[in-house]
Chains A and B, each alone.
Chain A
Amino acid sequence: MGIIQQIAFVLVLAIAGYFLFQRITRIRKNILLGRRETHNDHSSERFKNMMLVAFGQQKMFKKIIPAFLHFLIYVGFIVINLEVLEFVLDGIFGTHRIFAPTLGSFYTIPINIFEFLAVAVIISCVAFLIRRNLLNIKRFQARELTKWPKMDANIILIVEIVLMFAILTMNAIDQILQDRPDTHYPETGTLFFSSLLIPLFEGMSTSALVMIERFAWWFHIIGILAFAVYVTYSKHLHIFMAFPNTYYARLTPKGKMDNMPAVTKEVQIMLGAQTDTGDGADEEVGRFGAKDINDLDWRDIMGAYACTECGRCTAECPANQTGKKLSPRKIMMDTRDRAEEVGFSLQKGGKGLEDGKSLLDNYIQREEINACTSCNACVEACPININPLSIIMQTRRYVAMEEAQSPASWNAMFSNIENNFAPWKFAPTDRFNWANELKRETSSNEKNAQE
């Protein structure tokens, strides 16, 4: 490779790096728009969760066929990226297959493994394209999965297929060139899958082959870099975010709702159990519950960036299954969309959160959050431990406590609890009536038995 190619490569790398850095910084800022709660306790348990659920794909295996196909792509992604290391070194130093001479005949083995995985990735992606577009799978047909989200999924699958073909093409031609006397390509040994493509190119002139080989090489590396930037805008970001998301996921039983210490304090003051110190140091209570993304725990926004829009949550949601508007997947997509909107606005020096819009109402409708039965089916279903229920409950808190706009029958239930100490309107003095009834019933049974 000439020096011009080397300069071009470093330039391409720098441009991609710049955009990637910009995006990562932006996403980090967007996530940190949320409340800065700390979740660093039980680090070994958290690490274990991350290894099992994200690295080990534990929860994917509830559905065996997609789990297997997904696993092939996952392993392919991780392992084939080792080859990218060689790409980058070759690009910078102007070498060709820098590891081939050093590794000698061993070099054939990793490259053959990469090729096997490339073929596995192609097969899996084709299967996923068919599942998504031809088979009538309900969770891929939902109302939130139109236009861009649908296109996003297809773009990812097609790009992955194309990139894998670029590798195979490059390797096929390389093998032809190794045998040509006028070139000095390092020996790779026989590469099983790509050698099947050799007949397609065999008759071509050496210069044409070199051209195509270079094209495939550039196509692959630019493709990967572009994809890396694209991923930050895409649902495909889960490939990175799944790791922090599983690490920071809740460790408590699913039934436990997050406490609100600010409310605890107020209640204690009201009951006279604690006096208001009035120092105001830790009094910073922005809002009760969540109206917008900045009211959410930051890890809920992180969850939104981790969401792959697979829709397993929605497929399990009882409200959604019975035709209600609620879709946990949409809750996560809305949260991410709102975070992106605010982020872009801030980037351009715009109004950000003060744009007159909010997550609740402009994205998530009240009818959606009201339909939730808090059954945790969505939480259980998520392969990477995202918790849509948390966002639903936080928005409910805003509606109930800041606006007092809960559905009328809920307000009635609230006043029953407040006045009668039960959600139903019964006299509290009747609470123990059942015991007297039991007394009567058992004594008459006794009488019957004696008669």
Chain B
Amino acid sequence: MENVNSNTKYIDVPTMADMAAQGTEPEILFWVGCAGSFDDRYKRVTKAFVKILNEVGVKFAVLGPEESCTGDPARRAGNEFLFQMQAATNIEVLNGYNIQKIVTACPHCFNTIKNEYPELGGDYEVIHHSTFLQQLINEGRIKMQGGGTFKGKKITYHDSCFLGRANNIYEAPRQVLESLDADLVEMKRCRTKGFCCGAGGAQMFKDAEPGKKEVNIDRTEEALSTGANTIAVACPFCMTMMSDGVKNKNKEAEVQVKDLAELIAENKKL
């Protein structure tokens, strides 16, 4: 086996502190994010992504206990002070380790670190895991065999606002899905017209204002109407909202909500 950790029986996750102690530097810093660290469902995405990094042999590290919320929800809810306190602390840690390249699975972390930290003294190459996975596939580092688990299966991709409209990333996630040899079906509202899951702008952390419907139910109905049995997402908020929507429609037995990293890991039987 080519696995870099083929001698060990388990996957170990190196931290920046470990690396610094050994005097080495990783190829990338994997920014896990709060959802990726704490949310039971999203931890599976974190693990899937680490399995891929491990399999491919990308030299990575995480901040581990030194990581902290980027401040995105605070900023979007209006608390600029709290956001900037978080940013200042995080930037200090990142700069302290001389971080150059950051990969994250969370579009909110991605957007904040990429677009909002530079003005506050944090300048890094920031890559969302969809782009990173696409690069690994293009470089041939992730080898996808045709006829895998998802061959011919209907998958629909739900655009995350913070990837799509916020940062013009529409194609990378789709190319990752196409590599699965799956049948990618689009919802009517996709790409620039993608319909929000309802959780951005700190909506994740409070009840919705009164209306006639929940945003995630509306979106889930649209996703289900494509007939896809997998709804692919690339954001922890979208993951929660779409999973809740599917549960609400009692479709969790037939329809799965999966992150791109999980789909790749599954296809590669990692």
Bound CA span A246–B15, Å:
46
Segment among B19-27, B96-104, B135-143, B162-170 that sits at the interface with chain A:
B162-170
Complex contact A399–B161 (CB within 8 A): no
Cβ-based interface call for A414 (8 A): yes
Looking at the complex, which one of A267, A371, A380, A432 makes contact with B85 (CB distance below 8 Å)?
A267
Interface stretch (choices B180-188, B201-209, B242-250, B255-263): B201-209
Cα separation A209 to B38 with both chains bound (whole Å): 84
Q: For chain A residues 418-436, which have a beta carbon within 8 Å of chain B? A: 418, 421-424, 426, 428-435
Which residues from A are CB-within-8-Å of B67? 431
Name the residue of chain A whose CB is nearest to the CB of B75. Answer: A257
A342: interface (CB < 8 Å): no
- Scoring A residues 383 to 419 as 1 if CB is less than 8 Å from chain B, else 0, what string do you get? 0000000000101111111000011011011100110
Query: Which residue of B12, B15, B82 is within 8 Å of A417 (Cβ)?
Result: B82
CB distance from B242 to the nearest CB of A (A): 14
Asked if B173 is at the interface (CB within 8 A of a chain A CB), the reply is no
Check B165 against A377 for contact (C-beta < 8 Å).
yes
Contact between chains at B9 and A318 (CB < 8 Å): no
A-contacting residues, B26-48, CB 8 Å:
32, 34, 36-39, 43, 46-47
Q: Given the known A-B contacts A375-B196, A409-B207, A413-B205, are A255 and B79 also in contact in the complex, defined by CB atoms under 8 Å?
A: no
Q: Which chain A residues border B194 with CB–CB below 8 Å?
A: 377
Provided the pairs A267-B81, A319-B215, A409-B207 are in contact, do residues A374 and B201 lie with their beta carbons within 8 angstroms? yes
Out of B11, B39, B161, B198, name the residue touching A439 (CB < 8 Å).
Answer: B11
Minimum C-beta distance from A251 to chain B (A): 12
Q: In the complex where A372-B201, A442-B9 touch, is A406 in contact with B79 (Cβ < 8 A)?
A: yes
Contact A288 B80 (CB under 8 A): yes
Nearest to A432 among chain B residues (CB) is B64
> Is there contact, CB below 8 Å, between B10 and A376?
no
A375 to chain B: which residues have CB within 8 Å? 161, 165, 196, 200-201
CB-based contact A422/B69 at 8 Å: yes
The distance in angstroms between the C-alpha atoms of A447 and B8, with both chains bound, is: 12
Contacting residue for A410 out of B34, B77, B198, CB 8 A: B77
Give the shortest distance, in Å, between A63 (CB) and chain B (any CB): 11
**Does A102 sit at the interface, judged by CB under 8 A?**
no
From 48 to 88 in chain B, residues with beta carbon under 8 angstroms from any chain A beta carbon are 50-51, 62, 64-65, 67-69, 71, 73-82, 84-86, 88
Structural contact, A397 and B209, CB atoms closer than 8 A: no
Bound-state Cα–Cα, A434 to B120, Å: 30
Contact of B77 among A323, A371, A414, A441 (CB under 8 A): A414
In the complex, A281 has a CB within 8 A of chain B: no
Check A424–B79 contact: CB distance below 8 A. no
CB–CB A371/B208 < 8 A? yes
> A406 contacts B78, CB within 8 Å?
yes
Task: A320 to B213: give the CA distance in the assembly, Å.
Answer: 10
Task: Determine the distance from Cα of A393 to Cα of B67 in the docked complex, in whole angstroms.
Answer: 26
B-contacting 9-mer, from A258-266, A298-306, A348-356? A258-266
Contact A323 B201, beta carbon cutoff 8 Å = no
Interface residues on B, range: 35 or more
| Residue contact B200 to A410, C-beta cutoff 8 Å | no
B38:A424 contact, CB within 8 angstroms: yes
A316 on interface, CB distance cutoff 8 Å: yes
Of the candidates A370, A406, A417, which one forms a contact with B86 in the assembled complex, judged by CB atoms under 8 Å apart?
A417
B127 on the A face (CB < 8 A)? no
Which B residues touch A437, using CB under 8 A?
43, 47
Asked if A326 is an interface residue, CB under 8 A from chain B, the answer is yes
Contact partners of A39 in chain B: CB under 8 A: none
A271: interface (CB < 8 Å):
yes
Q: A267-B88, A431-B38 are in contact. Are A421 and B11 (CB under 8 A)?
A: no
Chain B residues whose C-beta falls within 8 Å of the C-beta of A432 in the assembled complex:
13, 15, 37, 62, 64-65
The 8 Å CB contact of A423, one of B50, B73, B80, B115, is: B73
Compute how far the CA of A432 lies from the CA of B111 in the bound complex, rounded to whole angstroms: 23
Q: How far is the CA of A413 from the CA of B47 in the complex (A)?
A: 26
Across-interface contacts of A380 in B (CB, < 8 A): 165, 192-193
8 A-B contacts (beta carbon < 8 Å): A266-B81, A322-B218, A323-B212, A373-B201, A421-B86, A422-B37, A423-B204, A424-B38
9 cross-chain pairs, A with B, having the tightest CB-CB distances, nearest first: A255-B166, A400-B78, A323-B212, A374-B201, A396-B78, A323-B211, A256-B115, A443-B10, A375-B161
